[in-house]
């Protein structure tokens, strides 16, 4: 059996230390013309959006901004986490993001590199952007499985291959990962 080449972005499955998943509110400003797809990795934007735009009862309260991986640089940008709802292009949209630094996600390798449990666990990689699926509103982001390294400056750490039916060692394997270039980690620079 082989894995399907069907990237789906990054889906939160738990937290490394246990406990419930936590999503925080952010906003995508209309000036950011790309859509945000379910499972897209996002970073903090230097803009905020008034809560009035969303009908939130606290008039004038600013909601911190977020933007797509397409506006960042893999290996350099500090990431918030995975977006869990669709945000239309060129529109102010309220977004919910799993942004705790210890969130564990599943994501798919982006190429035909054969990943094994022994070789991949503990390695680091960068995110790879995707265009998103406009029919399902799901992300098509993945990680650079052909460029695994021990380099500390990469975006994510592979914890293990994800144990589920239909996922085997090999090309396009689905792995459990954590963001190591987190904007909310202690010692990270401000935005």
Residue by residue, pLDDT tens for the chain (191 residues) are 789 999 999 999 999 989 999 999 999 988 888 899 999 999 999 888 876 656 555 556 788 999 998 888 998 999 999 999 999 998 888 999 999 999 999 999 998 899 999 999 999 999 999 889 999 999 999 999 999 999 989 999 999 999 999 999 999 999 999 999 999 887 666 65
The DSSP bridge partners found for residue 6 are: none
- Does some domain include residue 41? yes
What is the number of structural domains in the chain? 1
User: Does some domain include residue 106?
Assistant: yes
Check residue 191 and give its pLDDT: 59
In a domain, 154, yes or no: yes
Neighbours of 166 (CB within 10 A): 9
Say which DSSP state 163 is in.
Answer: -
Pick from 141, 122, 116, 117: nearest CA to 36? 141
> Does 74 reside within a domain?
yes
Write out the two tokens for 163: 């144990």
In angstroms, the CA 62 to CA 92 distance is 12
Give the residue numbers spanning the domain of 40. 11-53+61-179
Phi, psi of 70 (to 5 degrees): -60, -25
- Residue 78 falls inside a structural domain: yes
């Amino acid at each position: 059996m082989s894995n399907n080449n069907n990237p789906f972005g990054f889906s939160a499955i738990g937290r490394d230390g246990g406990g419930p998943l936590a999503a925080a509110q952010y906003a995508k400003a209309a000036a950011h013309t790309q859509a945000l797809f379910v499972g897209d990795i996002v970073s903090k934007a230097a803009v905020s959006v008034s809560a009035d735009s969303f009908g939130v009862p606290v008039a004038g309260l600013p909601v911190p901004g977020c933007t797509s991986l397409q506006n960042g640089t893999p290996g350099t940008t500090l990431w918030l986490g995975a977006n869990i709802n669709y945000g239309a292009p060129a529109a102010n949209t309220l977004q919910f993001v799993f942004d705790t630094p210890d969130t564990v996600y599943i994501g798919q390798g982006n190429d035909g590199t054969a990943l094994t449990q022994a070789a991949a666990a503990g390695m680091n990689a960068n995110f790879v952007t995707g265009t998103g699926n406009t029919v399902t509103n799901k992300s098509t982001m993945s990680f650079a499985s052909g460029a695994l390294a021990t380099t500390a400056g990469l975006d994510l750490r592979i914890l293990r291959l994800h144990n589920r039916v239909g996922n085997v060692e090999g090309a396009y394997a689905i792995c459990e990962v954590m963001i190591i270039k987190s904007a909310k980690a202690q010692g990270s620079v401000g935005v």
